[in-house]
Amino acid sequence: MKKVKVGIIGNGSISHTHMAGYKKLDHVEVVANCDINEQRAKQFAQYYNIPHTYADYNEMLKQEDLDAVSVCTWNNVHAPATIAALKAGKNVLCEKPLALNAIQAQQMVDAAKDAGKLLMVGFVRRFGLNTQILKRMIDNGDMGQIYYAKTGCLRRVGNPGGWFSDKKRSGGGPLIDLGVHMIDLVRYLMDKPKAVLAMGSTYDLVGPRSNIIGIQQYKSADYSDYNDVEDLAAGFVRFDNGATLIVENSWTQHIKRDKLYLELYGSKAGVTMEPDFEIYSERNDVLTDTKPFIDVNQNDFQPIFDKEMAHFIDCVANGTPCLNPGEDGVELMKILDAIYESASTGHEVIIK
């Protein structure tokens, strides 16, 4: 079987999970990598034995005969790097969020169509076992009609700093960083209804709190404590199937401990998928709680990235329909844009 040749643009934290996923696939060869931080690019290449290294992705796309590219850069580089790769005839797996906003995201999808190439968005949590099991239950009708969802990812102190908290490079704070995963999961599990209305509020009253000592926290590769994004975002979204979503995300907040939750409520059953997977329903006139038995460590993220890379390569090599098409990234960006717009105007936003 002909090897699929891959290039990786952006060689910071998440690119290592992409690389680890590709390395597990016999028919994939990562032949080039690129980072504007030349030293980081060289170290990445040395560590993984990658033959060709670049500081400019346009040069990499011109020189290398690649089938596919992973885009693992700051958010503001997702659109230009992806569009350049698509125009150069490469298939692209772009990290989440697809872009800084829906306009850019749509341009990326259009570029994929024009080039006849694949654009997949890195909604990695769709590959989680809990997500896949719950999706199967929902598709089998076990929950009836889902009409209400609540989700959040809240941190007491967890602003990664650097580009993450620099709005012109990230597009925003915890909503675009963490909320993107949670809102996507809800949409995906509900069979991708279209959002028709959103309201939101954002707050920046606590600040990044880089002064806090005595805790472990993730800091971006090029850390600085510059911060012009929200600490907390709260949103209300209505979908065209009548369902409502309430979402909250924070990087810093005075709470006892960090929280991650996802709850769905249907006419036949309710479910919490996070933090624990439990189903609440009734059977023979008795309220019944069910706990699916899943014998894998849900906190180990590498296996779901492995599945994501394997699926991307399967789509590229075999034309398998893509689970995470770029179009889903556009829909997500429309929701995030609307929550941010509502937060700044104080009004509800109709989503077209």
Ligand X SMILES: NC(=O)c1ccc[n+]([C@@H]2O[C@H](COP(=O)([O-])OP(=O)(O)OC[C@H]3O[C@@H](n4cnc5c(N)ncnc54)[C@H](O)[C@@H]3O)[C@@H](O)[C@H]2O)c1
Where does this chain bind ligand X (CB under 6 A)? 9-15, 34-37, 40, 57, 72-75, 77, 95-96, 122, 124, 163, 177, 220-221
* Closest distance of CB 352 from ligand X, Å: 26
Closer residue to ligand X, CB minimum distance, 77 or 109: 77
* Closest distance of CB 24 from ligand X, Å: 17
346 exposure class (CB count in 10 Å sphere: 0-12, 13-18, 19+): exposed
Which residue number places its CB atom closest to ligand X?
Answer: 12
| Alpha helices, DSSP H, located in the chain | 13-23, 38-48, 57-63, 75-87, 102-115, 129-139, 167-170, 174, 180-189, 302-318, 326-345
Closer residue to ligand X, CB minimum distance, 129 or 196: 129
Q: Would you say 219 and 12 are in contact if contact means Cβ atoms under 8 Å apart?
A: no
Closer residue to ligand X, CB minimum distance, 239 or 251: 251
Q: Would you say 118 and 92 are in contact if contact means Cβ atoms under 8 Å apart?
A: yes
* Closest distance of CB 161 from ligand X, Å: 10
Query: By C-alpha distance, which of 63, 189, 43, 214 is closest to 126?
Result: 189
* Closest distance of CB 333 from ligand X, Å: 13
Closer residue to ligand X, CB minimum distance, 169 or 259: 169
In the numeric block, which tokens belong to residue 217? 């926290």
Closer residue to ligand X, CB minimum distance, 12 or 193: 12
* Closest distance of CB 203 from ligand X, Å: 21
Round to whole Å and give the CA distance between 323 and 308.
9
In the numeric block, which tokens belong to residue 98? 């697809």
Closer residue to ligand X, CB minimum distance, 27 or 62: 62
* Closest distance of CB 8 from ligand X, Å: 9
Round to whole Å and give the CA distance between 196 and 186.
15
